[in-house]
Amino acid sequence: MAEKSAVKEKIARQPMPEQPADVRRRNFEEVPTGYSEETAVLEAGRCLQCKKPACVTGCPVGVAIPDFIKCIAERDFKAAIQKIWEKNSLPAVCGRVCPQEIQCEGQCIVGKKDAPVAIGNLERFVADLARNSGDGEIPAKAAPTGRKVAVVGSGPSGLTVAGDLLLKGHGVTLFEAFHKTGGVLVYGIPEFRLPKVIVASEVEMLEKIGLKIECNMVVGSIVSIDELFAEGFDAVFIGVGAGLPRFLNIPGEDLIGIYSANEYLTRANLMKGYLFPEYDTPIIRGKNVVVFGAGNVAMDSARTAMRLGAERVRIVYRRSREEMPARAAEIHHAEEEGIEFHLLTAPGRFIGDENGRLVQLEGLKMELGEPDESGRRRPVPIKGSEFVMDCDLAIVSVGAGPNPLLTHSDPQISLNKWGYVVADPETGKTTKKGVWAGGDIVTGSATVILAMGAGRKAADSIHEYLTWGW
Amino acid sequence: MFKIVEREEMAQGTVIMNEIEAPRIAAKAKPGQFVILKANETGERIPLTISDIDVDKGTITIIYMVVGKSTALFKTLQIGDAFQDVIGPLGKPTHIEKLGNVVCVGGGTGVAVLFPITRGFKNAGNRVISIIGARNKDLLILEEKMKSASTEFHVCTDDGSYGHKGFVTEVLKDVLENNKIDLVVAIGPVPMMKFVSKITKSYNVKTLVSLNPIMIDGTGMCGGCRVVVDGKTQFACVDGPEFDGHQVDFDGLINRLRAYTEDEKKSYNEHCRVFGNK
Ligand SMILES: Cc1cc2nc3c(=O)[nH]c(=O)nc-3n(C[C@H](O)[C@H](O)[C@H](O)COP(=O)(O)OP(=O)(O)OC[C@H]3O[C@@H](n4cnc5c(N)ncnc54)[C@H](O)[C@@H]3O)c2cc1C
Ligand SMILES: Cc1cc2nc3c(=O)[nH]c(=O)nc-3n(C[C@H](O)[C@H](O)[C@H](O)COP(=O)(O)OP(=O)(O)OC[C@H]3O[C@@H](n4cnc5c(N)ncnc54)[C@H](O)[C@@H]3O)c2cc1C
Ligand code: SF4
Ligand code: SF4
Ligand code: FES
């Protein structure tokens, strides 16, 4: 026994194999290539199998982490995926995009002294193996109840609600405004971070268990929520995300060459602009690219611009490094790929040429002043620090708000002062009978796993309603 | 899939009419609204106005000018072929009410957008004076339909090959001189709308224009369709596409429409290489 734990201490966290930075910065293939079976088993061996696993408390959906890791250590990969699926229906996605360092891995005991167990990498490994071997068994479905639920929006919250309710025997129809399902997973997060075949295979799986999908359906416009009830749906879930782009509201923002991150990433990912002219949607390819903001969306935009041939890509962020909200891995990858960070820097105005095209950005330097309401030290401009940099493509990635198209179409659904849907945090119930909501349209821009967690709670509550009443 | 059930070439093949099976959209669409269409997997999302609907048949009609790659691709679609995606109805409908005297001014394919609005105002009990124009007689579209939807009807051609010789704005000035007009609706090329708005402003007559910026989603998600109206940024797909012509920054719009000129050429030339320049 003593010998065994001695061995454990010697094993270092297994690094994730990746495409070299100087190669991948010009292609759209996935950056990390995934653990081999041997590496996964080795990494699984680092888990101490804690009796009171701290890691689980850090996971918003409470995946049975030590249990699935134990299965990997024992090479029972089928059992491992079954364990994960009990709590998480999109592990191949979460393993890739969860901010593990502040969730599961952030709590891991091993991480107190050493690098934490690579829970995300292991989750991804098991999920990829199940998908590629094709023996992902179709989960058992309850007997049909004859009840029908409409799910609006096909992001992670909507997909989770749909999956859960199908398994409980209800009929589910998914309505999506775009021509493809997946929400941010397909239009926002780039191929090199989350290959689209993964999202497609998750959706296919749901179709196998009976999901009906109607794309090109802008609910609120082509059909109202009341009309869905009239068509025979017994309950409605709203998971329409937070898709309203914010701009900087500085002079020159209408010049050609300035995109919201939503537009830039949608052109690149959903419309496959990076394959233009094979695909018809054009996308501006900049030489000197500036991205505003420092969240995941900003990192994705910057790294996409690099892959589209930019000479320089700069991230301009008002605050300091500690405040950058992106996942640690994304910041690290961006730096490796040669993205420059201009911190404590604020945009001032955009400068165009005689054709109305963006050519330069005027900015100014900031310093940290007194703490603001959030406790973070507020950046204040340094007088006389104005400077000008060349810039022919700017991508504004300073957050998103709630899209009012659906929510404003039904006055019975109460919104908070920022326009997000008011929903019970435990059940997802809105102020309108028979209507639930979850994900970014309730919380504001958050994470995939939180949206899924909200979806799961709503599905439980909808099931209860369909069985017992409101 | 959204099947084409009728198809017609107009204005010597430069303008195409498609009647498309889309029962859900047909049941909901109102004058002034548009759809976004995507022909196939690799296609671009292209906004086009709903020019007519037939609720009983469950169809909508679009009329588009062939100007670039995507519209050239649309032109290759025949009766029985289908669009992969049609999304709509999008945008705010025209606010139609009984006002009294309404002038509807249309240029080029703008006439297709104008037709359902014109009919709407006439049916609401207004006296509708229509003025439509084209470069020459052969490029004129929807003359009969527009005539039947109007109380008074004028046609102009730039070269004088038909109707009044000259621009729609000349006839408009006459009409404004001799009538008390309550509303002008102007839809056509951006310079035409800009010019019309300038004239009506001097007569102090409220003017609606329909803007056509480049769009992606059409649901307010990308901000690509932003236009400046009354000094404020608006998203044409959800706040419009109709705006007060006296408040619109037309020069900004003209500029933004040029964003992809080079790419569009590349894409179009590639299309012509494969399909021939029909
Ligand atoms: C570029 C980017 C990178 C990100 N990276 C990460 C990451 O690394 N890790 C992480 O955890 N999170 C990340 N996030 C956040 C995460 O993706 C979101 O929190 C999550 O997707 C929210 O899920 P959702 O179900 O609420 O809605 P969304 O994923 O936003 O999906 C909503 C769907 O509803 C559709 N819809 C909208 N209106 C209507 C309507 N009226 N009718 C029908 N359908 C409608 C939309 O088209 C969309 O498909 C990222 C977000 C972005 C934009
Ligand atoms: C709300 C709305 C309603 C419209 N209704 C009609 C209509 O009823 N009939 C009609 O003929 N045209 C209409 N248009 C314009 C039509 O969408 C464009 O002509 C079409 O997109 C051109 O595509 P293309 O690939 O053939 O040409 P391209 O080669 O892409 O471009 C040719 C021209 O079209 C403009 N354009 C390109 N892409 C778009 C886009 N996604 N959205 C808007 N303009 C674009 C370009 O600025 C350029 O000037 C409408 C546009 C909008 C926004
Ligand atoms: S779902 Fe996310 S937080 Fe939970 S265990 Fe998996 S990677 Fe960690
Ligand atoms: S906290 Fe770390 S070591 Fe403990 S069970 Fe979780 S993953 Fe294993
Ligand atoms: S087309 Fe995207 S916001 Fe209008």
- Regarding whether A102 and A155 lie in a shared domain, the answer is no
A-chain residue closest to B258, CA distance: A256
> Cβ distance B130 to B154 under 8 Å?
yes
A244 interface with B at CB cutoff 8 Å? yes
- Regarding whether B79 and B21 lie in a shared domain, the answer is yes
The count of residues in chain B is 278
Closest atom, ligand 2, to C-alpha of B265:
29
* Domain boundary residue, one of B90, B118, B138: B90
Cα separation values, B180 from B106, B127, B176, B245, Å = 20, 11, 7, 19
- Regarding whether B180 and B105 lie in a shared domain, the answer is yes
- Regarding whether B119 and B47 lie in a shared domain, the answer is no
| Binding-face residues of A in 429-468 toward B, CB within 8 A | none
Task: Provide the pLDDT confidence category of residue B276 given band limits of 50, 70 and 90.
Answer: low
Q: Which domain holds residue A288?
A: 245-400
- Regarding whether B206 and B107 lie in a shared domain, the answer is yes
Q: What is the pLDDT along chain A (470 residues), one digit of tens a residue?
A: 444 454 445 789 999 999 999 999 999 999 999 999 999 999 999 999 999 999 999 999 899 999 999 999 999 999 999 999 888 888 999 999 999 999 999 999 999 999 999 999 999 999 999 998 876 667 788 999 999 999 999 999 999 999 999 999 999 999 999 999 999 999 999 999 999 999 999 899 899 889 999 999 999 999 999 999 999 999 999 999 998 999 999 999 999 999 999 999 999 999 999 999 899 999 999 999 999 999 999 999 999 999 999 999 999 999 988 889 999 889 999 999 999 999 999 999 999 998 899 999 999 999 988 888 877 788 899 999 999 999 999 999 999 999 999 998 899 999 999 999 999 999 999 999 999 999 999 999 999 999 999 999 999 999 999 998 77
- Regarding whether A183 and A235 lie in a shared domain, the answer is yes
- Regarding whether A228 and A125 lie in a shared domain, the answer is no
A221 interface with B at CB cutoff 8 Å? yes
- Regarding whether A114 and A20 lie in a shared domain, the answer is yes
Across the interface, whether the CB atoms of A254 and B233 are under 8 A apart is answered yes
Identify the CATH number of the domain in which residue A395 sits.
3.50.50.60
Q: Which domain holds residue B16?
A: 2-90
- Regarding whether B205 and B106 lie in a shared domain, the answer is yes
A-chain residue closest to B91, CA distance: A221
> Is position A217 within any domain?
yes
pLDDT for B119: 93
Residue range B231-239: average pLDDT?
Answer: 93
pLDDT for A136: 61
> Is position B50 within any domain?
yes
- Regarding whether A460 and A414 lie in a shared domain, the answer is yes
pLDDT for A133: 86
> Is position A138 within any domain?
no
Coil, helix or strand at residue B235: strand
Distance from the first to the final alpha carbon of chain B = 25
**Number of CB pairs, chain A paired with chain B, less than 8 A apart:** 114
In this structure, the residue with its CA closest to atom 3 of ligand 3 is A59
> Is position A139 within any domain?
no
- Regarding whether A358 and A277 lie in a shared domain, the answer is yes
Closest atom, ligand 1, to C-alpha of A98:
11
Q: Which ligand is closest in space to the CA of residue A104? A: 3
- Regarding whether A234 and A109 lie in a shared domain, the answer is no
Q: B-side interface with A, Cβ within 8 Å?
A: 24-25, 28, 38, 42-45, 69-70, 73, 84-90, 216-224, 226, 228, 233, 238, 252, 255-256, 258-260, 263-264, 266-267, 270
Cα separation values, A318 from A267, A359, B66, B192, Å = 26, 21, 46, 43
pLDDT for A6: 46
- Regarding whether A450 and A354 lie in a shared domain, the answer is no
Phi and psi of A190, rounded to 5°?
-70, 160
* Domain boundary residue, one of A133, A162, A181: A133
Nearest CA to A101 out of A84, A88, A120 is that of A120
Identify the CATH number of the domain in which residue A73 sits.
1.10.1060.10
* Domain boundary residue, one of B65, B90, B115: B90
pLDDT for A34: 95
- Regarding whether A249 and A233 lie in a shared domain, the answer is no
- Which one has a higher pLDDT value, B212 or A377? B212
> Is position B264 within any domain?
no
Query: Worst-scoring range by mean pLDDT, A74-78, B163-167, B225-229?
Result: B163-167
Candidates B217, B224, B270; nearest CB to A178: B217
Q: How far is Cα B14 from Cα B149, in angstroms, rounded to an integer?
A: 24
Q: How far is Cα A248 from Cα A396, in angstroms, rounded to an integer?
A: 7
- Regarding whether B58 and B35 lie in a shared domain, the answer is yes
- Regarding whether B106 and B83 lie in a shared domain, the answer is no
Average pLDDT of chain B is: 91
> Is position B255 within any domain?
no
Phi and psi of A414, rounded to 5°?
-75, 145
Q: Which ligand is closest in space to the CA of residue B15? A: 2
CA B114 to chain CA mean position, Å: 6
Identify the CATH number of the domain in which residue B31 sits.
2.40.30.10
> Is position B190 within any domain?
yes
Total structural domains in chain B? 2
Determine if the peptide bond prior to A277 is cis (ω within 30°). yes
Cβ atoms < 10 Å from Cβ of B72: 17
Cβ atoms < 10 Å from Cβ of A20: 9
- Regarding whether B198 and B124 lie in a shared domain, the answer is yes
pLDDT for A370: 86
In this structure, the residue with its CA closest to atom 28 of ligand 2 is B68
β-pairing verdict for B2-10 and B82-83: antiparallel
> Is position B220 within any domain?
no
> Is position A260 within any domain?
yes
Spell out the residues 6+ positions from residue B195 whose beta carbon is closer than 8 angstroms to its own. B167, B169
Q: How far is Cα B90 from Cα A238, in angstroms, rounded to an integer?
A: 20
Assess whether the C-beta atom of A451 lies below 6 angstroms from ligand 1. yes
> Is position A224 within any domain?
yes
Q: How far is Cα B29 from Cα B117, in angstroms, rounded to an integer?
A: 12
> Is position A187 within any domain?
yes
> Is position A10 within any domain?
yes
- Regarding whether A341 and A303 lie in a shared domain, the answer is yes
* Domain boundary residue, one of A89, A106, A133: A133
Angle at A307 between CA A302 and CA A309, to 5 degrees: 100
Candidates A244, A281, A355; nearest CB to B44: A281
A220 interface with B at CB cutoff 8 Å? no
- Regarding whether A434 and A336 lie in a shared domain, the answer is no
Q: How far is Cα A455 from Cα A158, in angstroms, rounded to an integer?
A: 6
pLDDT for A89: 85
> Is position A155 within any domain?
yes
* Domain boundary residue, one of B167, B194, B210: B210
- Regarding whether B51 and B6 lie in a shared domain, the answer is yes
- Read off the pTM: 0.92
* DSSP assignment string, A147-210: -EEEEE--SHHHHHHHHHHHHTT-EEEEE-SSSSS-THHHHTS-TTTS-HHHHHHHHHHHHHTT
Give the H or E element holding residue A93: helix A91-97
> Is position B199 within any domain?
yes
Handedness of CA A99, A104, A107, A113 (dihedral sign): negative
> Is position B53 within any domain?
yes
Candidates A266, A282, A405; nearest CB to B222: A266
B-chain residue closest to A241, CA distance: B221
Total structural domains in chain A? 3
Spell out the residues 6+ positions from residue A298 whose beta carbon is closer than 8 angstroms to its own. A261, A291, A292, A315, A317, A326, A395, A397
The token pair that represents A120 in the structure block: 């995300």
Identify the CATH number of the domain in which residue B142 sits.
3.40.50.80
Q: How far is Cα B235 from Cα B229, in angstroms, rounded to an integer?
A: 10
pLDDT for A371: 85
The yes-or-no verdict on residue B270 having pLDDT over 80 is no
- B37-50 residue pLDDT tens: 999 999 999 999 99
The token pair that represents A392 in the structure block: 């022919």
- Regarding whether A408 and A343 lie in a shared domain, the answer is no
pLDDT for A353: 92
For chain B, counts of helices (H) and of strands (E) = 9, 17
Angle at B181 between CA B178 and CA B186, to 5 degrees: 110
- Regarding whether B188 and B109 lie in a shared domain, the answer is yes
Residue range B118-147: average pLDDT?
Answer: 91
Candidates A253, A260, A356; nearest CB to B222: A260
Across the interface, whether the CB atoms of B221 and A245 are under 8 A apart is answered yes
Phi and psi of B103, rounded to 5°?
-105, 130
Strand partners, A400: A245
Residue range B24-35: average pLDDT?
Answer: 93
- Regarding whether B42 and B62 lie in a shared domain, the answer is yes
> Is position B142 within any domain?
yes
Q: How far is Cα B76 from Cα B66, in angstroms, rounded to an integer?
A: 11
Handedness of CA A16, A19, A24, A28 (dihedral sign): negative
In this structure, the residue with its CA closest to atom 4 of ligand 3 is A59
* Domain boundary residue, one of A354, A375, A400: A400
